Amino acid sequence: MIYVLYNSVANNKNKNEKLENYQKEGMILKDVLDLDYRDFFQNLLENDVIYLFGGDGTINYLENEISIDELENDIYLIPSGTGNDFYHDVIKGEEEKILLNPYLKNLPTVEVNGIKRKFINGIGFGIDGYCCEVGDELRAKSDKPVNYTSIAIKGLLFHFKPRNAKISVDGKEYEFQHVWLAPSMKGRFYGGGMMVAPNQNRNEKGVVTVVIYKTRSKLKALMTFPSIFKGEHIKKEKMVKIFKGKEIVVTFDRPTPLQIDGDTVRNVITYKVHA
């Protein structure tokens, strides 16, 4: 049997014709909002196959709810999220679906505010977390699509203030002032197509990339920001510092929103990543 798992409120609640086609083909559709993941996966038959219909947030929820090492069933991702950063990071052609199982093993974890979570793309800390926080607030008030680019521009110019940061990479410590971003990345992309860590290889086990985006100038921060979508910001070596390591600790001098594969955590001072 083929089960199609989907999230009815994902992708700004937009309907997708693929779901109706799958149902017509005899596949069983299940809304993950009404599903007990652990119970569902424990009761699968040996030959059952899962189509996971969603994006990065849907993958993140799955990887933190079940033990992939104990699962014998194949899980395929059919990308249908708003960002699909994981899909864009691993795609080699025009595949409609991707076998997820190999990518869900040996994932890094983040510890923040008493929470420990796996992540498949990255941890955003700074204006990226701020954008997620504002996006959540707008989504709670309206069904209209959230324009994260607009939120980022307004944040850079008016609302978000850069932080001072202490960074530890495998025990070696650094300090930076006027930090706008300090993400730790398993993949290259986050935030709906931002190639914040263009040299990160998700297939390299036990290593993540931490990126420090810093400048005193709001104008320079704003003018350079669009280059992140092509990964060209790393050419600004005075503004951007990049480290790779197995254990990363990032600490800001005041509370800041953080995002884990797009899921917002508020009022964060520090996070720790184990690759």
Q: Tell me the percentage of the chain whose pLDDT exceeds 70.
A: 97
β-bridge pairing 28-31 and 2-6: parallel
List pLDDT tens digits, range 70-92.
Answer: 888 999 999 887 789 999 999 87
| pLDDT over 60 (residue 36) | yes
- For 88-97, the CB contacts below 8 A with 24+ separation are 88/189, 88/193, 89/121, 89/187, 89/188, 89/189, 89/202, 90/187, 90/202, 97/51
In the structure, what pLDDT confidence band is assigned to residue 118 with cuts at 50, 70 and 90?
Answer: very high
List pLDDT tens digits, range 150-209.
Answer: 899 999 999 999 999 999 999 999 999 999 999 999 999 999 899 999 999 999 989 999
Per CATH, the number for 109-274 is 2.60.200.40
| pLDDT over 60 (residue 14) | no
Burial of 39 (0-12, 13-18, 19+ CB in 10 A): exposed
| Widest CA span in the chain | 58
* Predicted local distance difference test score (pLDDT) of residue 12: 53
Angle at 161 between CA 158 and CA 167, to 5 degrees: 150
Which amino acid, 148?
A: Y
Angle at 58 between CA 229 and CA 122, to 5 degrees: 40
In the structure, what pLDDT confidence band is assigned to residue 257 with cuts at 50, 70 and 90?
Answer: very high
* Predicted local distance difference test score (pLDDT) of residue 94: 74
| pLDDT over 90 (residue 215) | yes
β-bridge pairing 184-185 and 122-125: antiparallel
CATH (one of 3.30.70.260, 3.30.1330.60, 3.40.50.10330, 1.10.260.40) for 2-104:
3.40.50.10330
* Predicted local distance difference test score (pLDDT) of residue 10: 64
CA distance 111 to 270: 9
Displacement of CA 138 from its chain's centroid (Å): 19
* Predicted local distance difference test score (pLDDT) of residue 248: 98
User: Per-domain residue ranges for the chain?
Assistant: 2-104, 109-274
* Predicted local distance difference test score (pLDDT) of residue 67: 86
- Reference 75, options 33, 126, 40; nearest CA is 40
**Which of 12-21, 41-50, 154-163 is predicted least confidently?**
12-21
| pLDDT over 70 (residue 98) | yes
pTM of the model: 0.91
* Predicted local distance difference test score (pLDDT) of residue 15: 54
Residues 6+ apart with CB under 8 A from 11: 54, 55, 80, 81, 82
Radius of gyration of the chain (CA): 19
Mean predicted lDDT score pLDDT of the chain: 92
Average pLDDT value for residue range 239-247: 98
Q: Tell me the percentage of the chain whose pLDDT exceeds 90.
A: 73
β-bridge pairing 247-260 and 184-185: unpaired
| pLDDT over 70 (residue 37) | yes
Same fold, 2-104 and 109-274: no
Decide if 109 contacts 116 (C-beta within 8 A): yes
Decide if 251 contacts 269 (C-beta within 8 A): yes
Average pLDDT value for residue range 82-105: 89
| pLDDT over 90 (residue 93) | no
Distances (CA, A) of 93 to 30, 87, 104, 123, 231: 28, 11, 21, 27, 20
CA distance 188 to 211: 11
